[in-house]
Amino acid sequence: MTSNAQRAKSSLYWRDFVSLDGTPWKRTNTVSVERPTLVDPPIENLLHKVGDSKFTLVSVAAIRAREINEYYNGLGQGHGALIPPQVTSLSNKSLSLALEELYQGKLEFHRPTADEIEIERLEVEALELARQDANNDLDAFTDALRDA
């Protein structure tokens, strides 16, 4: 068993740290301290672009990352409908590229309203009805040709 004195000697406390210039690091009571993060661009800035929802941010970035992967996988196959990455980056990861596109405003997200969803539903129903009418007209035409 180690004693409390040995445990205290071996553990690090905030008062034991010094800054890069050698001055002792002092603890502050401020909550919003700027600190470097591993995520660049910062998530806080990205959240504002998609409506402050982490789930939406993850979903939008994942969808775009899949599109970027499909673009790179289909380069030699003549698939011209895919959109290439819109930013230049040191990262070659598709998710990082997608987040950078969102940060730079090259990728936008719009959450549809209830009215827009209803309008789209009505348009889809109208197209389906038109397709069914066309099939019925074609069936009637082919029946008339057979009878003649």
CB 102 within 8 A of CB 47: no
* Per-residue pLDDT tens digits of the chain, which is 148 residues long: 455 555 444 444 444 555 556 665 555 544 444 544 556 788 888 888 888 889 999 999 999 999 999 888 877 666 667 788 888 877 788 898 999 999 999 988 888 899 999 999 999 999 999 888 888 877 777 777 777 6
Q: Which candidate, 144, 53, 47, places its Cα nearest to that of 99?
A: 47
Q: Which CATH architecture has domain 38-111?
A: Alpha-Beta Complex (3.90)
Residue type, 129: L
Concatenated DSSP letters of 69-123: HHHHHTGGGT--SSPPPSS--S---HHHHHHHHHHTTSS---PPPHHHHHHHHHH
